[in-house]
Amino acid sequence: MSKVTVEVCVIFLKLGEIDTLKEQFSADVLVKAKWREPELDRKGKNKDELIDEDEIDFEKYWNPKLFVENTVGDPKEVRWRTLAFSSEGDAFICENQRLKGTFVENLELNDFPFDVQDLTVTVTSERPASELNLIEDRMELHRVYKQSFIDEQEWSLYKHLESESKFLAEPHGDPSVKRVLLSVKCRAARRPWFFVWNIFLVTFLFCSLSFATFSVEYNLPQNRLQLSFTLVLTAVAFKFVINQSLPRVSYLTYLDKYLLGSMCQLAIVCAWHSIVAKIDSKHDAKVAELVFLTALAVIYIGFNAGICFHIYAFACKRRRIMKQKDREYMVKNFLRNMHRRVLPATNYQSSTLQAPPAGGTPSTPQISPQTPTTGHRQAGPSILHSCSTAPVLLTTETTTTDSDKIKKKGESTVAAPGGPCQNNCVENTVSDKTPPEKPERSKPVIFT
């Protein structure tokens, strides 16, 4: 048996709290998949005949056995399947899986608190990679709904999504058997100003106060050290607070580096106050202290300037890349939307169903009369139904031109709960009549 191509689309319906300490996030996700099922094809049959999906036992047919791998615990899960056809009568089984739960994510905290995190949903199959191939849906884009993001006060969510396909060895079986994984990730940038004002700025201020200890006479080390040790203990308290909000990673974040650098500066000041008191000559002590104070001020200013430059040049570089990807993503969606609107009026015969823009309102799909791809369960040409959500009965009314004098009513469709299909698609209804030059779009009406 040849490989089955399974097209997958992941939609982040709602994103909850991103827990940095536990390295996980909560989300409500819809995973949509579709694949060819030749046994249900309409070839050689009446294409206008309606099929009652309640009479179809989907358990009798091939199933990719998809699941989300990086969930924690037992998430709430709902599954349902629908049937869709291409313009040539090729049958596609569409499976929708809605998950609400917690997902594991290995956070990269090197740039904390200026970090950008990937929020990944990994879809895989219980079947080996030799039986199926997981790819992105070629007609529907992955998308995320920013308006339903709960942690907006702490994070900024980007619009674009990316996916990555890879292979993983079977952990509890033959190591030569591999499973295919499709990882779909959206990205969120941490809002850093809370840490800038409350930690970076406060640390800078009390470390700057270490220069005030030089106003005490050098021959009174007990007073100087008392003030210096107080500042050191303050820095230690700040470091302890930061550790409570971060996981125990084996590397230093930008905030760790700044706090440790400030503590080193305070430690050097304490050591100097102990040394300068041992100089017998008053003149030599004043000269040495002046040289040390000047060098310490230059190093301290250079350290802070270097940290600021390094954060802008390296830590914030990924943020600029993400904004550029957002712009490219919006341009791509705009061009696809324009292509979908203009193409039917100029060259209807070559038009195909295009994916709706992320978070936008999809338009009526166009039908491509191309010859279907041969082979068992291979992805065919344009599909009239793009694997929508829970079925709701709709009634469509399509009127042709006056020359045809044809009016069709009562055709059955399937749509998402509370609205029409994601792609305004017509399911279980295919017309082989040649459309007019300017076809009118159908107007679905929902009966509750």
210-222 confidence digits (pLDDT tens): 999 999 999 999 9
Q: How far apart are CA 120 and CA 24, in angstroms?
A: 10
All structural domains of the chain, each given as residue ranges with its CATH number in brackets, are: 4-191 (2.70.170.10), 194-315 (1.20.58.390), 389-448 (no CATH)
Q: How far apart are CA 282 and CA 285, in angstroms?
A: 5
Q: What separation in angstroms does the CA of 256 have from each of 33, 105, 155, 245, 442?
A: 44, 22, 21, 12, 60
Under-50 pLDDT residues of the chain: 344-448
Which pLDDT score, from 0 to 100, does residue 57 have? Answer: 85
Contact between residue 198 and residue 225 where contact means Cβ atoms under 8 Å apart: no
- One-character DSSP codes across 340-383: HHHHHHH-GGG----PPPTTS---------PPPPPSTT---S-B
- What is the identity of the amino acid at 393? L
- ∠ CA(272), CA(274), CA(275), 5° rounding? 65
Q: Give the tens place of pLDDT for each residue, 91-125.
A: 999 999 999 999 999 999 999 999 999 999 999 99
Query: Which residues are 445's β-sheet partners?
Result: 395
For tokens 């004002």, name the residue: 197
Which pLDDT score, from 0 to 100, does residue 87 have? Answer: 82
Q: How far apart are CA 163 and CA 120, in angstroms?
A: 9
Which pLDDT score, from 0 to 100, does residue 190 have? Answer: 96
Which pLDDT score, from 0 to 100, does residue 50 have? Answer: 58
Which pLDDT score, from 0 to 100, does residue 312 have? Answer: 95
Which pLDDT score, from 0 to 100, does residue 335 have? Answer: 78
What are the φ/ψ torsions at residue 83 (nearest 5 degrees)?
-120, 135
Q: How far apart are CA 190 and CA 109, in angstroms?
A: 11
